[in-house]
Amino acid sequence: MAATTEQEGRDRTAGRRPRPKRGPVAGTFAVIGELLITAGLVLGLFVVYSLWWTNVIADKEAHKQADQVRKHWAQAPPAGQDGKAPSFDTKDGIGFLHVPSMKNGEVLIKKGTGVPVLNQGVAGYYTKPVKSALPWDKTGNVTLAAHRDGHGAKFHNIHKVKVGDPIVVETRDVWYVYKVYKILPSTSKYNVNVIQQIPKESGKTKPGRYLTLTTCTPMYTSDYRYIVWSQLVRTQKVDKNRTPPPELR
């Protein structure tokens, strides 16, 4: 009869079966399992950071910048007294975007669509590859982009926008009211035709006063672009109480 080890003797004395020795293969799988669990936790934390914490940071920064813009508006002299177009194109922002069907509140509009700009939780107007018009231009296409997920996710609910819905741009002196006339749920990220000054892909063939929203799609990816086209239907002068137009009430 083979001699038992000291450990086996103790196990039998205690009424327990001897613990099997862990072979090299089992040990390897155990290590891999622990690594996978750790990787899963790290990935989970990254998702929380990307989809929640970046929103918190961006929203805080956007609110701060929005307050600064409104402060500047209150301090600036009346625009247009010299007969020229209002000068709102400042580094702080040109105004605010309101899209009731997206339920995203007011969104500050700033110059540029690069990551440093959009990560501030704002909507940016294109400077390239096709330069955006501005709301007060007599003709052209005001082309805007914003994140759909993370960093404020101002266009997260763009899929809830329907044809006929209003889109309003608020500047210091004028409310610009647009009406959605066409939606393109998916197109190539390289399709610059959707932001042309005459958006022919939307069916338009003549100069007008358009506004286009662009963002990534599907959700949580950046593979394609979601496009919403709208056209100016009227303007409304801002009164002393900044009473919003009926479309926003």
* 3-state SS assignment for residue 45: helix
CA–chain centroid gap for 47, Å, is: 16
Query: Domain coordinates of the chain in residue numbers?
Result: 50-75+89-248
**Is the pLDDT score of 7 beyond 80?**
no
Report, as residue numbers or ranges, the catalytic residues.
147, 216
Q: What is the rounded average pLDDT of the residues 191-210?
A: 97
pLDDT digits (tens, 9 = 90+) for 36-57: 565 555 544 444 445 667 888 8
DSSP 8-class letter at 244: P
Question: What confidence score (pLDDT) does residue 39 get?
Answer: 54
Tokens 């000054």 belong to residue: 197
Distance separating alpha carbons of residues 225 and 41, to the nearest angstrom: 31
Question: What confidence score (pLDDT) does residue 34 get?
Answer: 60
pLDDT digits (tens, 9 = 90+) for 226-247: 999 999 999 999 999 999 999 9
Pairing between β-strand 123-125 and β-strand 140-145 as defined by DSSP bridges: antiparallel
Class of domain 50-75+89-248: mainly beta
Q: What angle do CA 222, 97, 54 make, to 5 degrees?
A: 45
Least confident of 41-45, 53-57, 93-97, 155-159: 41-45
Least confident of 75-89, 93-107, 211-225: 75-89
Q: What is the rounded average pLDDT of the residues 65-89?
A: 70
Least confident of 51-65, 83-97, 165-179: 83-97
Q: Judge whether 198 and 207 are in contact, CB under 8 Å.
A: yes
Alpha helices (H) along 49-164: 54-75, 115-118
| Tokens, residue 148 | 């759909």
Pairing between β-strand 209-217 and β-strand 106-111 as defined by DSSP bridges: unpaired
What would you report as the CA-atom Rg of the chain, rounded to the nearest whole angstrom? 28
Strand partners, 232: 178
In what helix (H) or strand (E) does residue 97 lie, and over which residues does it extend?
strand 95-98
Question: What confidence score (pLDDT) does residue 190 get?
Answer: 96
Work out the pLDDT band at 188, boundaries 50, 70, 90.
very high
